[in-house]
Amino acid sequence: MRAVITFADVERARKRIGDAVHLSPCTLSEHLSNLTGTRCWLKLENLQMTGSFKERGACNKLMSLSAEERARGVICASAGNHAQGVAYHATRLGIDATIVMPEVTPISKVQSTRNYGGRVVLHGTNYDEAYEEASRLRDLEKRVFVHAFDDDLIMAGQGTIGLELLEQNPYMEAVVVAVGGGGLISGIAVAIKETNPRIKVYGVETTQIPSMKEAIAHGSPVTLPAAGTIAEGIAVRRAGEKTLEVVQKYVDDLVLVNEEEIAEGILTLLEREKTVAEGAGAAGLAAMIHKRLPLEGKKVVNVVCGGNIDVNLISRIIERGLVKTGRMVRLTIAISDRMGSLARVTRVVADARASVIQINHDRTFARQGIHEATVELVLETRGFEHVEEVTKALIAAGYGVLSSPV
């Protein structure tokens, strides 16, 4: 039996899939090029029908099933993207699909999977528990199991991205790919390295669950402790056996990024590229922004692998990003608890060209004198220099600034 998939497997996957999966654009970003010191292209897999690259592998796997296997139906375990890919293409092909998802899966992903036609079973508090239940139901209901990454047909399907990149950007010198279980980077690496081994293939994992990096260090997959991350799409506690072998053979390096860096990547894509990316989809850009890889001056493709992110999380990321860059600030000041005092404070803020987002006026719990109050201002500002200007204006007007980030 062959140890790893081959270029021919990826080519067969592309022919099999045909136009059932969208040919996603690969666009040059001048802003990100300047920011990262590279010539940076974005492979926008977040524009797929289900918002993720996952449907490539799912489609290839499902279209490879025999008539008898299709009649039995399929089952998989997933926290989101794989679930939607399997549900969508199974419904399209007339195959009954059961998807086991952790009970903590965001309701939006659960509903999307149902909308695509999948029967959703909520079980367990994490992927591993959902996987165990899916395995039990597979045996009980005699269904075909569709693994999220450690499967030749899944890897080959994801590898069709690599074939597209070779055509869309034949002069690329490197590709940066997020890594969870390893199915995506394995397929891309085979397609690219067996065509042009001079092109570098780099993987990026979250520091929270670096399962592939640990597998390489130990020479075999190891199971890591569960951990929370905003990049839930790559929160895989144990890398695949098959994917590890491909990564060891073809991937040039694996690097790590932390939660704050991933959040910055999400915000950068949203603000500068008008592109919505989930945590996994922004991990590669995070590594490029923070110079984790030797890419200076290189022609680089960053794979934005998915865009299925909860809108509430986007809101929190935006607000934290504004705070981090000095475009939103919270100031606490002491004022006189007399008529008109609050109006005078807001006038000083307005004259300094800052906008008031929120005010909390507290006279009851203030630690100042009986005739004083504490005011907490949340302001929209232009950056830390502007924050300093506002702070100095308040002090010059006679107000005591009790807390400030500058």
User: What string of H, E and C letters represents the secondary structure of the chain?
Assistant: CCCCCCHHHHHHHHHHHHHHCCCCCEEEEHHHHHHHCCEEEEEEHHHCCCCECHHHHHHHHHHCCCHHHHHHCEEEECCCHHHHHHHHHHHHHCCCEEEEECCCCCHHHHHHHHHCCCEEEECCCCHHHHHHHHHHHHHHHCCEECCCCCCHHHHHHHCHHHHHHHHHCCCCCEEEEECCCCHHHHHHHHHHHCCCCCCEEEEEEECCCCHHHHHHHHCCCCCCCCCCCCCHHHCCCCCCHHHHHHHHHHCCEEEEECHHHHHHHHHHHHHHHCCCCCHHHHHHHHHHHCCCCCCCCCEEEEEECECCCCHHHHHHHHHHHHHHCCCEEEEEEEEECCCCHHHHHHHHHHHCCCEEEEEEEECCCCCCCCCEEEEEEEEECCCHHHHHHHHHHHHHCCCEEEECCC
Supply the pLDDT for residue 3.
Answer: 60
Mean pLDDT of 57-71: 97
Residue 317 lies in a domain: no
Residue 330 belongs to domain with CATH number? 3.30.70.260
Please determine, for residue 1, whether its predicted confidence score (pLDDT) is greater than 50.
no
Ramachandran region, residue 182 (left: φ > 0; alpha: ψ -120 to 50; beta: rest): left
Give the rounded percent of residues in the chain with a pLDDT score beyond 70. Answer: 97
For residue 94, the surrounding DSSP H or E stretch is: none
Residue 84 lies in a domain: yes
Identify the domain boundary among 309, 338, 372. 309
Mean pLDDT of 154-160: 98
Domain that holds residue 343: 326-403
Which one is predicted more confidently, 233 or 160? 160
What is the rounded radius of gyration, in angstroms, for the C-alpha atoms of the chain?
A: 25
For residue 34, the surrounding DSSP H or E stretch is: helix 30-36
Residue 315 lies in a domain: no
Q: pLDDT band for position 383 (50/70/90)?
A: very high
Task: Please state whether beta strands 144-145 and 74-77 pair in parallel, antiparallel, or not at all (unpaired).
Answer: parallel
Q: Are residues 244 and 275 in the same domain?
A: yes
Give dist(CA 355, CA 179) in Å, integer. 41
Q: Are residues 48 and 129 in the same domain?
A: yes
Q: Are residues 283 and 350 in the same domain?
A: no
Q: Are residues 258 and 390 in the same domain?
A: no
Please determine, for residue 51, whether its predicted confidence score (pLDDT) is greater than 70.
yes
Identify the domain boundary among 309, 344, 379. 309
Please determine, for residue 26, whether its predicted confidence score (pLDDT) is greater than 60.
yes
Q: What is the per-residue pLDDT across 363-372, written as a single tens digit (0 to 9) for each?
A: 766 666 667 7
Supply the pLDDT for residue 347.
Answer: 94
Please determine, for residue 319, whether its predicted confidence score (pLDDT) is greater than 60.
yes
Q: What is the per-residue pLDDT across 275-299, written as a single tens digit (0 to 9) for each?
A: 999 999 999 999 999 999 999 999 9
Residue 16 lies in a domain: yes
Mean pLDDT of 15-31: 97
Residue 319 lies in a domain: no
Mean pLDDT of 104-109: 82
Supply the pLDDT for residue 2.
Answer: 57
Q: What is the pTM of this model?
A: 0.89
Residue 147 belongs to domain with CATH number? 3.40.50.1100
Give dist(CA 7, CA 282) in Å, integer. 27
Q: Are residues 246 and 295 in the same domain?
A: yes
Please determine, for residue 243, whether its predicted confidence score (pLDDT) is greater than 50.
yes
Residue 207 lies in a domain: yes
The phi and psi torsions of 6 (rounded to 5 degrees) equal -120, 170
State the DSSP string of 265-323: HHHHHHHHH-----HHHHHHHHHHHTT-SS-TT-EEEEEE-B----HHHHHHHHHHHHH
Please determine, for residue 112, whether its predicted confidence score (pLDDT) is greater than 80.
yes
Q: Are residues 105 and 191 in the same domain?
A: yes
Mean pLDDT of 31-56: 97
Q: Are residues 147 and 271 in the same domain?
A: yes
Q: Are residues 67 and 171 in the same domain?
A: yes
Mean pLDDT of 94-106: 92
- 349: which 2 tokens? 């803020």
Q: pLDDT band for position 358 (50/70/90)?
A: very high
Residue 318 lies in a domain: no
Q: Are residues 90 and 226 in the same domain?
A: yes
Q: Are residues 75 and 202 in the same domain?
A: yes
Q: What is the per-residue pLDDT across 144-155, written as a single tens digit (0 to 9) for each?
A: 999 999 999 999
* 271, amino acid identity: E
Supply the pLDDT for residue 303.
Answer: 98
What's the total number of domains in the chain? 2
Q: Are residues 278 and 395 in the same domain?
A: no
**Is the CA virtual torsion 202, 182, 42, 105 positive or negative?**
negative
Give dist(CA 398, CA 4) in Å, integer. 72
Residue 314 lies in a domain: no
Give dist(CA 101, CA 386) in Å, integer. 47
- 342: which 2 tokens? 């609050």
Q: What is the per-residue pLDDT across 76-97, written as a single tens digit (0 to 9) for each?
A: 999 789 999 999 999 999 999 9
- 274: which 2 tokens? 């008008």
* 320, amino acid identity: R
